[in-house]
Each structure stands twice: as structure tokens, then as C-alpha cells.
Amino acid sequence: MRDVDLRAAIPAIDRLARAHARLLNATDEEIAAATQTVTGALQHPLLLRAQRASSTYRELPISTKDPAGNLIEGVIDLAFVVGGAMDYCRFQD
């Protein structure tokens, strides 16, 4: 999900899956499963909303301090702005 264009069509998703497959030595069956999974995920209402966003951010690093002053760092997988409001998304493995 990190690398796919949120508006990608199936051929583009398949090309990306094949590129990743070369790095992972994945089978044709795994490539097809990845393409199908990503295609389905892009139809989720949250990602359909992200497709309409005026701004999108991928792998956005964040940091803050907790009340005790400890630094907390992380990465937001996807953040996007629609109608002046920002939404955040974390993709689970």
C-alpha cells in the first residue's frame, strides 16, 4: 500500500506487485493475491475518500512529547485533507 497510487488501475497495481515480487522472489499466485488485495483495499470507503483529497501524505514522520517529557516518535502511513479536515490511516500487516 505504501507505494501504490491511490487512483491506480489494475494494470498499474499488477506492475507494482510484479516489481515487488522480484525483490521477494514471490510466486505468480502471490502476485495475483497481492494485486487482488490492493485492488480491493483501494475500494474501501476511507481510501475512496483519500482519492478525493486536496493533499495526501505518505509515510509521514511525527514526534511529540508525553506529559512526562519523553519523546514519542512514529510514522503515519497515510494522512490526507478533505474539506479542510485531516484524516489519518495506519495500514496493518
**Residue pLDDT, tens place only, 7-45:** 999 999 999 999 999 999 999 999 999 999 999 999 999
Q: Is the pLDDT of residue 2 over 90?
A: no
Give the amino acid at 65. Answer: K
User: How confident is the model over 51-78, as a mean pLDDT?
Assistant: 95
65: left (phi over 0), alpha (psi -120 to 50) or beta: beta
Q: What is the pTM of this model?
A: 0.80
Radius of gyration (Cα) for the chain, nearest Å?
A: 16
Q: Is the pLDDT of residue 47 over 70?
A: yes
* CA–CA dist 75, 71 (Å, integer): 14
* CA–CA dist 39, 14 (Å, integer): 9
What was the pLDDT predicted at 91?
84
* CA–CA dist 65, 48 (Å, integer): 33
Q: Is the pLDDT of residue 93 over 70?
A: no
